[in-house]
Amino acid sequence: MMKKLILFFIFSAVLSVWLSAEVNSIRIAKQYGFNTLPFTVITERKLVQKYAKEAGLGDNVKIEWITLAGGAATNEALLSGSVDISSSGVAPFVRLWDKTNGRVKAIASSGKDTIGLVSSNPKVKSIKDLGEKDRIALAAVKVSIQSLILQIAAAKEYGIENYDKFDHLTVTLGNPDALVALTSGKSEITAHFGREPYTSIELQNPNIHEILNSADVVGKGITTGVYSTTKEFYDKNPKLTASFIKALDEANEWINANKKEAIELYIKSENSKESVSVLLSILEKGGADFSPKVAGVTVFSDFLYKVGAIKSQPKQEDLLF
C-alpha cells in the first residue's frame, strides 16, 4: 500500500510539472511590410532565446514566423491554434477582442507608423474626389486598419451616418500585389491604402501621389498594429511571453541606434529588392516606430463601438494583458 501511495505522489508531482511547463517553441503570425523589421533583428540576434534562457527556459526555444496576408487571416490562425501570437492591425484585433469576450488581448504594439493612401488618378487630390471608377486596394475590406481609417475619414467629412461611403470602392489585396497592380497601370486598382515600405516605393513613381495619411485622421503616435494572444497561451507561458516582449524592446532600441545595419539585415533576410536609401529615409523621417508600448488604440475601438461594429466599448487597459 505504501509503495502504491509513493508511486501515486511521484506520478502526481511529475504530471503537475508537465502540465505547468511552458512550451519551448513559439509560432508568430506576421504580415507583409516594414513592421516586420523587428522580427529580422530578433531572429538574427536571437533575442527571444536570450531572454528565454535568462528566464530559465533553457537553450532550445525555437521561433517560427508565419507570413499571412491581412489581420483577418492572422486572427483566424490565432483562433484555430495555428499560431501562438498574432500580428495584426488594431481594427481586426479589436473585433476579435469583442468576439471572444476579451479572451484575446494585446501584449504589445507592433507599430505606430503613419499609413498612407496613395492614388494614380490625377483627378483625385483627396478622398472627396474619389469616384465610382476608383478602386482602393487594402489588406482586408471593412475589417483592416486601413479600411477603418478610411471610414473614420469619411465620417469626419460626410458625417457618422456615411462612415462606409467608400467601402464599395475597396478591394482586398496584399501589399506586394497591390504595389504591382497600382504601378503597372494595367489594373482596375487606382489607389492603395498600404503600409511602409510600399507607400514610399509607390510615391517614387511620378504618376502616384498621396491623398490621405493616418496622422491627418487620427493623429501621430497612435498604435496602428498590435501583437495579441489568447488568455490560455498567456497564462500558461508567462516567461516566454515576457521574453518575446523584452526581445521586441531590445530590437527597437537596436534599430534606433543602428538604422543602416538594421535595414541591411532586413533586405538580406527578406531577400528584398528595396533600396537601402528608401528604407533608411522611412526610419529617419519617423515613418516607423516599433516601440512595444501601446498608445491611443481607443480612438479606433470607440469608433467601432459608435457604428455598432462591436458590442462592448473598452478602455485601453481592457484590451491589454
Split at pLDDT 50, 70, 90, the class of 16 is very low
CATH number at residue 50: 3.40.190.10
Q: What is the pLDDT of residue 263?
A: 93
Q: Confirm whether 158 is domain-assigned.
A: yes
Is 135 in the same domain as 187?
A: yes
User: Phi, psi (5° rounding) for residue 205?
Assistant: -75, 125
Is 308 in the same domain as 188?
A: no
Single residue among 169, 194, 218 that ends a domain in this structure: 218
Is 179 in the same domain as 307?
A: no
Q: H helices of 204-258, where? A: 214-218, 231-236, 238-257
Is 184 in the same domain as 240?
A: no
What is the arithmetic mean of pLDDT over 44-62?
A: 95
Is 94 in the same domain as 120?
A: no
Q: Confirm whether 12 is domain-assigned.
A: no
pLDDT of residue 112 exceeding 50, the answer is yes
Is 243 in the same domain as 290?
A: yes
Enclosing domain of residue 159: 116-218
Write down the mean pLDDT value for the chain.
90
Q: Confirm whether 18 is domain-assigned.
A: no
Rounded distance, CA 232 to CA 46, Å? 25
Higher pLDDT, 73 or 130: 130
Q: Confirm whether 136 is domain-assigned.
A: yes
Helix axes 238-257, 37-44, angle to 10 degrees: 100
Number of domains in the chain: 2
Q: What is the pTM of this model?
A: 0.87
Rounded distance, CA 63 to CA 78, Å? 15
Is 237 in the same domain as 107?
A: yes
Per-position b or e across 98-123, b if 16+ CB within 10 A of its CB: beeeeebbbbbbbbbbbbbbbbbbee
- Per residue in 283-308, pLDDT tens? 887 767 888 999 999 999 999 999 99
- Per residue in 242-278, pLDDT tens? 999 999 999 999 999 999 999 999 898 888 888 899 8
Single residue among 179, 200, 218 that ends a domain in this structure: 218
Is 308 in the same domain as 235?
A: yes
Is 288 in the same domain as 258?
A: yes
Q: Confirm whether 1 is domain-assigned.
A: no
Residue 281 identity (one-letter amino acid): S
Is 99 in the same domain as 242?
A: yes
DSSP codes joined into one string, 95-129: HHHHHTTTSEEEEEEEE-PPPEEEES-TT-SSGGG
What is the arithmetic mean of pLDDT over 15-22?
A: 50
Is 138 in the same domain as 95?
A: no
Q: Confirm whether 43 is domain-assigned.
A: yes
Q: Confirm whether 16 is domain-assigned.
A: no
Unique residue bearing C-alpha cell 503616435: 221
**Measured CA distances, 92 to 30, 232, 279 (Å):** 14, 20, 27
Q: What is the pLDDT of residue 32?
A: 79
Single residue among 218, 244, 270 that ends a domain in this structure: 218
- Per residue in 165-211, pLDDT tens? 999 999 999 999 999 999 998 999 999 999 888 999 999 999 999 99
Q: Confirm whether 48 is domain-assigned.
A: yes
pLDDT of residue 53 exceeding 60, the answer is yes
Q: What is the pLDDT of residue 35?
A: 81
Q: Which of 13-22, 132-141, 186-195 comes out lowest in average pLDDT?
A: 13-22
Is 214 in the same domain as 258?
A: no
